[in-house]
């Protein structure tokens, strides 16, 4: 990653992230953890440095230090959601919860907001290490003033009209949404692979052939499915290779995982598709932290989704050590699915059931 990319992204983020005091739990292995630390130094604002995350400590910190913003990885946001706020600790200064490094469902975004108050914004920005930071601008004031006019006065409730928006285009970037099957450029509200071009995009991966990550026009293929609306607000749908297709209908795994995480006995949940005559049979791989039955989890999900999204492949309980993670703590869904197809998890499942 060259210095030009670092400096340019630092300038971009400093324009819209001048938060007097923020808490961030994103590890330094994540680009968000690095760039946000630099932003606080560049803008002369404060960053509360914490050790390991717990919901209890976080709620106390927000109150004690008058924190304005808190940044959480998705897994910590789900732990916060499970814990709730049983002691009714107030966070009167908190204005924004940033969930960086992945997405959660709209329902869970709103539930996280209710832990603090309905006026706290919960946002899920989007970025990549390959461009050293955010791919879109995420300033609610700027976003809504462009839509409703320059005289617009920021209202958090109004921002909820576009709660899943990851932002608008940033200066120095070129974007296109491409149908991965036809390479046709998509228009507004048409989903396809997000491709990005910029002077400070990476040139490639160290000692690896990276040519397949770029198209013939030099655009980086992000591997993420996205779309934009008439106001040029962008939305991330899912990873290109992670969505499931059952009976010709697309199924977003993150929706089902969000429901599973609501159960107090679920520590880790990952939805994979097992190939069948009808397509990807929805199957849940779960690490549990308390006793729970397969039937209970299947019912939890199937009672809340339409027929096409139901779990038909059952629930496979495994130890946490079986789950393959990236260095930054994300589940390697592809590898988990590949190993399962190879028969290893099938054998494990039979042994566990017996």
pLDDT in tens, 326-346: 766 678 777 787 766 544 444
Query: Which domain-ending residue is among 219, 239, 259?
Result: 239
163 domain residue, yes or no: no
77 domain residue, yes or no: yes
Residues 260 and 227 in one domain: no
Residues 208 and 96 in one domain: no
Predicted local confidence at residue 122, as pLDDT: 86
Residues 39 and 124 in one domain: yes
Assess whether pLDDT exceeds 80 at residue 9. Answer: no
Q: Which residues pair with 21 in a beta bridge?
A: 46
Residues 334 and 257 in one domain: yes
Residue, of 121 and 228, whose pLDDT is higher: 228
164 domain residue, yes or no: no
Assess whether pLDDT exceeds 60 at residue 152. Answer: no
Q: Which residues pair with 175 in a beta bridge?
A: 196
Predicted local confidence at residue 31, as pLDDT: 75
Structurally, the chain folds into a number of domains equal to 3
Q: Residue 93 is part of a domain; what is its CATH number?
A: 3.40.50.12780
* Residue matched to tokens 């160290």: 206
Q: What is the pLDDT of residues 164-183, one digit of tens each?
A: 888 888 888 899 999 987 88
Residues 25 and 148 in one domain: yes
Alpha carbon separation from 95 to 5, 119, 152, 231, 308 (Å, rounded): 29, 7, 19, 24, 38
User: Could you tell me the pLDDT band of residue 41, with boundaries at 50, 70 and 90?
Assistant: confident
- Mean residue pLDDT across the chain: 80
DSSP string, 305-336: S-GGGS--S-EEE--GGGS-B-TTS-B-HHHH
Sheet containing strand 220-228, edge to edge, reads 173-178, 192-198, 220-228, 234-239
Written as six digits, the tokens of 29 are 């292995």
348 domain residue, yes or no: yes
Burial zone of 43 (CB within 10 Å; 0-12 exposed, 13-18 middle, 19+ buried): middle
Residues 235 and 258 in one domain: no
Q: What is the pLDDT of residues 241-297, one digit of tens each?
A: 677 878 877 788 888 998 999 899 999 999 998 877 777 889 999 999 999 999 999
161 domain residue, yes or no: no
- Asked if 341 and 275 count as a contact pair (C-beta separation under 8 A), the reply is yes
Q: Residue 233 is part of a domain; what is its CATH number?
A: 2.30.38.10
User: Could you tell me the pLDDT band of residue 159, with boundaries at 50, 70 and 90?
Assistant: low
Predicted local confidence at residue 294, as pLDDT: 94
> Of 332, 249, 238, 240, which Cα lies nearest the Cα of 285?
332
72 domain residue, yes or no: yes
Assess whether pLDDT exceeds 90 at residue 220. Answer: yes
Predicted local confidence at residue 125, as pLDDT: 85
User: Could you tell me the pLDDT band of residue 141, with boundaries at 50, 70 and 90?
Assistant: low
- 18-32, 35-49, 54-68, 281-295: which range is least confident on average? 18-32
- Asked if 221 and 193 count as a contact pair (C-beta separation under 8 A), the reply is yes
Within a 13 Å sphere around the CA of 259, how many CA atoms are in the beta-carbon half? 19
Predicted local confidence at residue 182, as pLDDT: 86
Residues 289 and 224 in one domain: no
Residues 55 and 193 in one domain: no
Residues 98 and 116 in one domain: yes
- Asked if 118 and 142 count as a contact pair (C-beta separation under 8 A), the reply is no
Residue ranges making up the domain that contains 112: 3-155
- Asked if 196 and 174 count as a contact pair (C-beta separation under 8 A), the reply is yes
Assess whether pLDDT exceeds 50 at residue 349. Answer: no
């Amino acid at each position: 990653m060259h210095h030009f990319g670092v400096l340019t992204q630092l300038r971009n983020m400093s324009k819209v992230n001048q938060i007097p005091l923020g808490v961030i739990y994103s590890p330094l292995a994540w680009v968000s953890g690095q760039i946000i630390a630099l932003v606080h130094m560049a803008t002369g604002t404060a960053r509360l440095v914490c050790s390991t995350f717990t919901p209890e400590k976080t709620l106390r910190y927000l109150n004690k230090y008058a924190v304005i913003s808190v940044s959480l990885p998705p897994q910590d946001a789900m732990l916060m959601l499970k814990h709730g706020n049983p002691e009714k600790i107030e966070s009167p200064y908190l204005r924004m919860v940033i969930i960086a490094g992945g997405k959660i469902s709209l329902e869970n975004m709103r539930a996280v907001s209710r832990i603090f108050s309905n006026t706290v914004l919960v946002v899920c920005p989007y970025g990549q290490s390959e461009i050293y930071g955010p791919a879109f601008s995420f300033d609610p004031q700027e976003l809504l003033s462009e839509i409703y006019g320059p005289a617009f006065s920021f209202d958090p409730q109004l921002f909820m009209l576009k709660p899943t928006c990851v932002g608008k285009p940033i200066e120095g970037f070129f974007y296109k949404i491409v149908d991965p099957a036809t390479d046709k450029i998509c228009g507004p509200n048409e989903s396809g692979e997000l491709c990005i071009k910029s002077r400070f995009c990476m040139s490639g991966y160290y000692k690896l052939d990276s040519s397949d990550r770029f198209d013939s026009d030099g655009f980086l293929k992000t591997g993420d499915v996205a779309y934009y609306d008439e106001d040029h607000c962008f939305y991330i749908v899912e990873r290109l290779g992670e969505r499931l297709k059952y009976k010709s209908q697309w199924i977003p795994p993150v929706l089902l995982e969000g429901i599973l995480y609501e159960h107090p006995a679920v520590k880790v949940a990952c939805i994979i598709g097992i190939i069948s005559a009808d397509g990807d049979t929805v199957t849940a791989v779960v690490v549990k932290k308390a006793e729970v039955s397969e039937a209970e989890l299947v019912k939890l999900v199937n009672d809340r989704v339409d027929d096409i999204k139901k779990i038909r492949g059952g629930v496979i309980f495994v130890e946490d050590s079986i789950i393959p993670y990236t260095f930054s703590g994300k589940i390697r869904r592809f590898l988990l699915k590949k190993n399962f197809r190879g028969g290893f998890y099938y054998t494990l499942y039979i042994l566990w059931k017996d």
